[in-house]
Amino acid sequence: MNATERSIFEQFAYWRSAPLPDVPSNRDVLRAVVGCGTSYNLSLSIAASLTARGLQAIAVPGSEWWHHASAYAGAGRAVEVLALSRSGESTETVEAARRSRAAGLKVTALTCAAGSALTRHADTVLYAPTHADEGIVMTASASLMLLLGLRLAGVPIGPEVIAAAESLLARADREATALLQGRSHFVFLGAGSLYGVAQEGGLKLQEMSLSFTQAYHSLEYRHGPIALADERTLVVLLYSPDTQAEEAKLARELLANGARVLGLGGPGSVELEIGGDAAARPLVCLPALQVLGERQAQLKSLDSRAPRHLSKVVLLG
Where does 3-152 sit in CATH, by number?
3.40.50.10490
pLDDT tens, residue by residue, 177-213: 999 999 999 999 999 999 999 999 999 999 999 999 9
Q: pLDDT grade, residue 74 (50/70/90)?
A: confident
CB 198 within 8 A of CB 188: yes
Question: How far apart, in whole angstroms, are the C-alpha atoms of residue 268 and residue 258?
Answer: 12
- The per-residue pLDDT for 136 is 77
Closest CA to 308 of 295, 292, 297: 297
What is the topology classification, in CATH, of domain 159-299?
Rossmann fold (3.40.50)
- The mean per-residue pLDDT over the stretch 220-242 comes to 96
Domains 3-152 and 159-299 share a fold: yes
Q: pLDDT grade, residue 309 (50/70/90)?
A: very low
DSSP 36: S
Chain mean pLDDT for the chain? 94
pTM: 0.95
**In the chain, where the domains are located:** 3-152, 159-299
DSSP 23: P
Question: How far apart, in whole angstroms, are the C-alpha atoms of residue 304 and residue 51?
Answer: 35
Closest CA to 221 of 244, 187, 255, 198: 187
3-state class (DSSP) for residue 293: helix
- The mean per-residue pLDDT over the stretch 252-262 comes to 97
